[in-house]
Structure 1
Amino acid sequence: MQLSGLYERALKFDFLNIEEGVFLFEHAPLTELMYVANELRKKQVPHGKVTWIIDRNMNTTNVCVANCKFCNFYRIPGHPESYVTDIETYKVKIEETFRYGGEQLLLQGGHNPELGLDYYTDLFRQLKQLYPNLKLHTLGPPEVAHICKISGVTHREALLALKEAGMDSMPGPGAEILNDRVRRLISKGKCGAQEWLDIMHEAHKIGLTTSATMMFGHVETLEERFEHLVKIREVQAKKPQDAKGFVAFIPWTFQDVDTLLRRIRGTKNLTTGEEYIRMIAMSRIMLPNVKNIQASWLTVGKHIAQICLHAGANDFGSIMIEENVVSAAGAPHRFTANGIQQAIREAGFEPQLRNQQYEFRKMPEQIEEQVITY
């Protein structure tokens, strides 16, 4: 294989295979890889702005039986620290989110054996009745798979019911690495790779927009990372013509502080800043049918995320008014609305507030700036 030929094919939006992707990752000079990815970004997102969103990551429950070895957030059923969020807590946090300029909840939780489809549809209807303008970016394929299992419904039946109840879009958690060898080692209690992909495809078929993610830097091989990218691309290629499908792809690094993976297996996050930039660039190159690539400032920090904006990324994600899962494993970084816009300007771009559909939003006239706590 020759680098020049692969660059040329990438710039034509060709689908590179796993071996070609690995070759580029391992052999391409970083500056050349960044150049190719940046050129693709300019073609796919010609407005040249860097988008961001104001939302809050709330958790329906921390009760979970999936037993993921990278998660410090969950509690087993019956644990004294276990909870299911009550409606009064939702009301306080939603109204606070509105004051901060947000309009969306990214609502996720654990695999709680007591919470089936009726619980979630009732919750979504209640939240929408209280706050008709609230956007619900909710659950994820593993949670949908769990709901289907305990409620005895199909993926399609569950997704249609959730959408009718108020689910506006679905995030991409629980993907980790879409390879069952890896999943057996780190998240055996979650759905397998194919079920994750099948649920996303079903969501696209009923008109739900979704995001795709990848958590890397733990037990996976480089080839398995690129297998993951190809599988995402394949699902996107199967979406109905009038569907958006995956509106974004967000790769982030494994956070290892106090996790079982580190304590028992000795697995540490050894991902360097350069490696993350390479993965952002390769995400843009390997996913020519996914328009938006997001840099995970939460896990890699402001400066690396800023460089990623010159390596194919066009989105800076959320200020994350609240985030409990990744932070519990050691992600220390935080942004305010003013801070995230300043970081984007420092990188040489114009910040643009967006919604989950990647439509531009006007900045609210008055935003109460949240206080960052660690």
Structure 2
Amino acid sequence: MNLTQSPASVHDIGDRIAAGERIDFAEAAELLEKADLFDLGQMAHSVRLKKHPEPYVTYVVDRNINYSNICVCGCRFCAYYKAPGQEGGFVLSKDELGRKIQETIDLGGTQILMQGGHHPDLSLGFYEDMLGFIKDNYEIHIHAFSPPEIVHFSEIEGISIENVIRRLMDAGLASIPGGGAEILVDEVRSKIAPRKCSADQWLEVMETAHNLGLRTTATMMFGHEETPEDRLKHLFALREVQDRTGGFTAFIPWTFQPDHTNIPDARKMTSVEYLRMLAVSRLVLDNFDNLQVSWVTMGPKISQLALYFGGNDFGSTMIEENVVKAAGVSFRLSEEQIHRLITKAGFKPMQRLMDYTHAGSNQIK
């Protein structure tokens, strides 16, 4: 599709959005390419306010734990992984995992986001045992194993994706993060991550999880070798699954960080490009309740501004984060700093759980 072609003007599309109508692919392309930045922000913010008229911006206190960095994928955008046998590779011991979880709980954390590489030698039983250890010893929500990991487990074991998810749920898995989506277009995936699961497999994991009762998030990493049209294909693929299942709790778009990766010629996306993509995401994903801003890659000030471009969630305190840090970006925020940033942006901070219920009034699941 040629992004310069559109059946309606930006003004007409804005009127349709204001009337609560759904936009199509061509209209989304028109907005992404041609809409005035502040008009686009106003459209997205008005949709956000219809969904969340209360003055709150949510956030979660959690920790990103990488149980291993050993991976056979060799994704060109990743500066964190180690190949099997390479110096610096690790698999966390239960003692170290337990220490990290206890530190998280002591800091008021309600969940852990746990992901790792595609380790060639660990069976599904290893992951079941790890989940059981956590569940037996700590009261914390386990948000773990992105779709590519689950597809990898399925291939290692020779069983279906559904059976993998059922076994992980029985062991203690409570929800699935949206990592590994990158861009859900196979032509792009074959260039940046040829050994990782296909777009259809990623979507299958999520739809299967939703049908089994698990909630999940969705992400998009943009600004590497994809086109604007590819980004929109990604959004519309997510919208179709959400129409069927309603299982996604939030969408988190973030910009590719090229330093120390094997895509060194990619430039860093500008703040304006990020804000435009965020706003269009809010307008396309009309069936997603929550849109998370990315202070980890964009920094705190742009993330404040993003709260007026469709965002209603400030993400995580990120007690620990390794993958983006390995690409040379290391913004750090405490819970107190997040409170201050949200307040100065004109909203009220509210700690949440994974399902976006209030952290202070619900039991951890």
Q: How many residues align?
A: 354
- In the other structure, the counterpart of 2:110 is 103
Confirm or deny: 8 A CA contact 2:223 2:266 kept in the other structure: no
- In the other structure, the counterpart of 1:369 is none
- In the other structure, the counterpart of 1:339 is 337
CA drift of 1:362 comes to: 2.6
2:205 partner amino acid = I
CA drift of 1:30 comes to: 1.2
- In the other structure, the counterpart of 1:35 is 42
Choose 311-320 or 43-52, whichever is displaced more.
Answer: 43-52
> Which of 87, 97, 101 is matched with 2:94 structurally?
87
Q: Distance in 1 between matches of 2:141 and 2:282?
A: 27
Confirm or deny: 8 A CA contact 1:137 1:169 kept in the other structure: yes
Confirm or deny: 8 A CA contact 1:51 1:316 kept in the other structure: yes
* Secondary structure of the structure 2 residue equivalent to 1:326: helix
- In the other structure, the counterpart of 1:78 is 85
Pair 1:13–1:214, CA change in 2 (3 A): farther
* Secondary structure of the structure 1 residue equivalent to 2:59: strand
Q: Distance in 1 between matches of 2:203 and 2:178?
A: 10
What TM-score comes out, normalization by structure 2 length?
0.95
Q: Distance in 1 between matches of 2:20 and 2:116?
A: 37
TM-superposition CA deviations, 1:3-47 (whole Å, max 9, x none):
122112223443322221111111111111111111110111122
Please tell me whether residue 268 in structure 1 is matched to residue 274 in structure 2: no
Q: Distance in 1 between matches of 2:104 and 2:224?
A: 34
Confirm or deny: 8 A CA contact 1:62 1:83 kept in the other structure: yes
What TM-score comes out, normalization by structure 1 length?
0.93
The aligned runs of 1:162-181 (5 Å cut-off) are 162-181=168-187
* Secondary structure of the structure 2 residue equivalent to 1:194: helix
TM-superposition CA deviations, 1:136-179 (whole Å, max 9, x none):
00011000000000011101101111111111110000000000
TM-superposition CA deviations, 1:208-253 (whole Å, max 9, x none):
00000000011100000000000000010111xxxx5110000000
- In the other structure, the counterpart of 2:261 is 259
Please tell me whether residue 137 in structure 1 is matched to residue 132 in structure 2: no
Confirm or deny: 8 A CA contact 1:51 1:354 kept in the other structure: yes
* Secondary structure of the structure 1 residue equivalent to 2:263: helix
CA RMSD in angstroms comes to 1.1
Aligned-pair identity in percent equals 43
Unaligned runs of 5+ residues in structure 2 are 1-7
Q: Distance in 1 between matches of 2:170 and 2:280?
A: 37
> Which of 76, 97, 118 is matched with 2:125 structurally?
118
1:253 partner amino acid = T
* Secondary structure of the structure 1 residue equivalent to 2:225: coil
- In the other structure, the counterpart of 2:346 is 348
- In the other structure, the counterpart of 1:302 is 300
2:257 partner amino acid = Q
* Secondary structure of the structure 2 residue equivalent to 1:261: coil
* Secondary structure of the structure 1 residue equivalent to 2:183: coil
Q: Distance in 2 between matches of 1:12 and 1:119?
A: 51
Q: Distance in 2 between matches of 1:12 and 1:141?
A: 36
Confirm or deny: 8 A CA contact 1:13 1:288 kept in the other structure: no
Choose 40-49 or 354-363, whichever is displaced more.
Answer: 354-363
CA drift of 1:324 comes to: 0.5
